[in-house]
Structure 1
Amino acid sequence: MSRTIQFAKAGGPEVLEFVESEVRAPGPNEVRIKVKAIGINRAEAMWRTDIYIEPVKFPASLGYEAAGIVDAVGSDVKGVAVGDDVSVIPSFSMNSYSTYGEVIIVPDYAVVAHPKSLSYAQAASVWMMFVTAYGALVEDAKVTRGDFVIIPAASSSVGLAAIQIANYAGAATIALTRTSAKRDALLKAGAAHVIATDEVDLVKEVMRITDNQGARVAFDPVGGPTFAKLISALSFGGIAFIYGALSEDVTPLPVLEMIAKVTTVKAHNIWLTSGDETRRKAAVEFVLKGLESGALKPVIDRTFKFDEMVEVHRYLETNGQFGKIVVTV
């Protein structure tokens, strides 16, 4: 028997319920894992409220990331054995699989061996944050030395990953945060520059930092009114990625300015990388090398216990965290 977390209707954290059931055997291409830690993502709060990029099928489960020990493998699974320490890379629909459970079943392509240097909590935290940033900044934009990268919501787990990924590629990062309260922490996390957007003019600051050239890339999970300012802060031929909708306001596009600057606006999500076998393997190799060299490091804000999952989601929605929230099982 195993406890999992499900919800029968969309709503606040209180809709999450513990359900105890017998764990089935894995299918031919599935892996069963005894979970030690679960990585928590903003996407799961959106899933819980049924405002995610796909509709929820009720009753629903949730969760994209976990780390633990392989308990059983399907008949066609290769390269993964019972007893292996593994983590789960987001690469499936939560209508099909989920990770909020004591024992879970996931597709074999989502299972990654994690370095011995990482704890279970760290291993559960790395894949969503690093692969999302890698897909946009390395795989697509190919950022390199001499590039400036603007990173809004820089204290989020993906924001911090983007700082590390851009640094790893040789680019200079401009971290955005609302006030100066997190400035020192962001600089310590590797940001070359920090702009407190409630305190100074965003566009003027970016232009000052870049000698009036603008940044080549913006990597934005927020949208809303500030998105137009990001366009203004880009260089000629710059790229603005949008991978989230933290702002509930309308996201305007300054069309004439975009035409004049030949700006590219691209929607981005992790599935472009994790949903393709070749790209997924390249991303995993890149992240593993970065972790092993120390260029990439997990950043955990706070850990909770599995029984505290409702409180976890309440904390997630305060937007006060610096890095990843992790649940231990």
Structure 2
Amino acid sequence: MARAVRFHRIGGPEVLRLEPVDIGQPAPDEVLIRVKALGLNRAEALLRTDRYIESPRFPAGLGLEATGIIEAVGQQVHSFAVGDAVSVLPPTSMLDQPTHAELLLVPQARLVKNPPGQDWTSAAATWMQYLTAYGALIDVAGLRSGDYLVITAASSSVGLAAIQIARRVGAVPIAVTRTSAKCEALLAAGAAAVIANSEQDLLPRLQETTGAKGARVVFDAVGGPIFEPLTAAMAIGGIFIEYGGLSPEPTPFPLFTVLSRSLTLRGFRVHEVLEDATRLEAAKSFILEGLADGSLRPVIARTFDFEDVVGAYRFLESNQQFGKVVVTL
């Protein structure tokens, strides 16, 4: 038995409970992990409020990331051993394979060994953010040196990962955030320019920053009314990648802007990379190389104890964080 984060009804963080669950023994291709840290994601809050791409089945588990030590392995597991420090790659479904628990059974195909010397907090803050940003920007958009990249929700863990990846390949990251409170921190994190969307007129500021060239890539987690000025500031033939839906307002379709600029509008889910072995190996190599050379460095906003997982999600949903919120066990 082990404690897991579960909820029995739709609601805010207060509906979360730590409940005992029966873990069992590893199947032939599985490992048993003693969890040391968990990374939190907006997708989990969306699932809990029934605004995600899947709806909860009660009692519902939660979680997309975890890191820890292998305690047991199945008979067909040969690449991992008891005592290895590993991280769990995001599951296809949180309903079937939630990660927020003290012990986890995980197929070996969803594991990666932690780099030597990486601490638990950084390990818990690595894979969801970098796989999402890499998959959208490098694998799909082909981001390259000199490209202007516009990043919304830039102070999120994925937004900061996008800034670092852009810098790694020589692109120019332009951060969009709601207020000026995080502007200095975003500049220090590598943004070439920062636009406070609620305090500045977004379109002219983007046009001023990118000049006649325009933004070849937009990486958006928000949707809603911001969609129109973002597309209007894009380069001819640019690609707009939508990977979230944080805005509660409708998202307009800017038909004539899309037509006149020959834009590509593309939805992205990290599972595109996770479910393709070749793409996943390329992503892992890029991320591990970046961690090794220091160009990719997870930014931790704050850590919480497992017993205070409710407080951790309240902080995540307060929009105060800069980087990843991590729960330690």
Instruction: Output the TM-score relative to the length of structure 2.
Output: 0.97
Find the residue that maps to 2:112 and give its secondary structure.
strand
Equivalent in the alignment of 1:5: 5
Q: d(CA) in 1 for partners of 2:204 and 2:12?
A: 39
**How many angstroms apart in 1 are the aligned matches of 2:252 and 2:154?**
21
Cα deviation, 1:241-263, whole Å, max 9, x if unaligned, reads: 11101100000011011101111
Matches within 5 A, 1:172-187: 172-187=172-187
1:131-184 CA-partner distances (Å, limit 9, x unpaired): 100001101111111100000110000000000011111100100112221111
For 2:268, the aligned partner's letter is H
SS of 1:225's partner is helix
**Contact kept? 2:56, 2:95, Cα under 8 Å:** yes
Letter paired with 2:278: T
* SS of corresponding position for 1:295: coil
CA distance in 2, matches of 1:65, 1:105: 13
* Residue 94 (structure 2) pairs with residue 101 (structure 1): no
Structure 1 segments of 4 or more deviating over 3 A?
none
What letter matches 1:225 in structure 2? P
Q: Distance in 2 between matches of 1:51 and 1:74?
A: 36
Q: Which residue of 1 aligns with 2:73?
A: 73
Contact 2:125 2:298 in 1 (8 A): yes
Helix, strand or coil: the match of 2:66? strand
TM-score (norm 1): 0.97
* 1:224–1:250 contact (8 Å) kept in structure 2: yes
Name 2:292's counterpart in structure 1.
292
Distance 1:314 1:152 in 2: 21
**Conserved 8 A contact 1:138-1:169:** no
Give the whole-Å Cα distance in 2 for the aligned partners of 1:107 and 1:48.
25
Structure 2 residue runs without a partner (length 5+): none
Q: How big is the shift at 1:68? A: 0.6
Cα deviation, residue 265, structure 1: 0.5
In structure 2, how many angstroms separate the alpha carbons of the residues matched to 1:113 and 1:218? Answer: 32
State the partner residue of 2:277: 277
1:18 & 1:116 partners in 2: Cα distance? Answer: 31
Please tell me the residue identity of whatever aligns with 2:100.
Y
In the alignment, does 2:31 pair up with 1:27? no
Could you tell me which amino acid in structure 1 is paired with residue 296 of structure 2?
L
Which amino acid letter does the alignment assign opposite residue 93 of structure 2? S
Moved more, 199-208 or 36-45: 199-208
1:307 aligned residue: 307
Shift of 1:76: 1.6
Flag structure 1 segments of 5+ consecutive residues without an equivalent: none
Q: What SS class does the counterpart of residue 315 from structure 1 fall into?
A: helix
Does the residue aligned with 1:131 lie in a helix, a strand or coil?
Answer: helix
1:152 correspondence with 2:152? yes
User: Is the Cα–Cα contact under 8 Å of residues 34 and 104 in structure 2 kept in the other structure?
Assistant: yes
Matched, 1:167 2:167: yes
Deviation at 1:52, TM superposition (A): 1.0
What RMSD over aligned residues (CA atoms) do the two structures have, in Å? 1.1
Matches within 5 A, 1:1-329: 1-329=1-329
How many pairs are equivalent?
Answer: 329
Give the stretch that moved more between structures: 121-130 or 5-14: 5-14
Amino acid at match of 1:71: E
Give, in whole Å, the separation in 2 of the partners of 1:205 and 1:117.
42
Q: Deviations over 1:260-319 (max 9, x none)?
A: 111111001100111222211111111000000000001000000000011111111111
Q: 2 CA distance for matches of 1:158 and 1:23?
A: 31
Equivalents in 2 of 1:97, 1:80: separation in Å?
20
The alignment partner of 1:139 has SS state of helix
Alignment-mate amino acid for residue 321 of structure 2: Q
Conserved 8 A contact 1:91-1:275: no
Q: Which moved more, 1:17-26 or 1:140-149?
A: 17-26
Shift of residue 83, structure 1, vs aligned partner: 0.5
User: In 1, Cα distance between the equivalents of 2:247 and 2:163?
Assistant: 21
Q: Give distance in 1, aligned partners of 2:177 and 2:95.
A: 34
CA distance in 1, matches of 2:84, 2:38: 17
SS of match in other structure, 2:327: strand
Does the Cα contact within 8 Å between 2:91 and 2:97 map onto a contact in 1?
A: no
The whole-number CA distance in structure 2 between the counterparts of 1:145 and 1:151 is 16
SS at match of 2:211: coil
**C-alpha separation in 2, matches of 1:50 and 1:179:** 28
Instruction: Give me the whole-angstrom Cα distance separating, in 2, the residues matched to 1:79 and 1:314.
Output: 38
**CA shift at 1:11, angstroms?**
1.6
**Structure 2 contact 90–128 (Cα < 8 Å) conserved:** yes
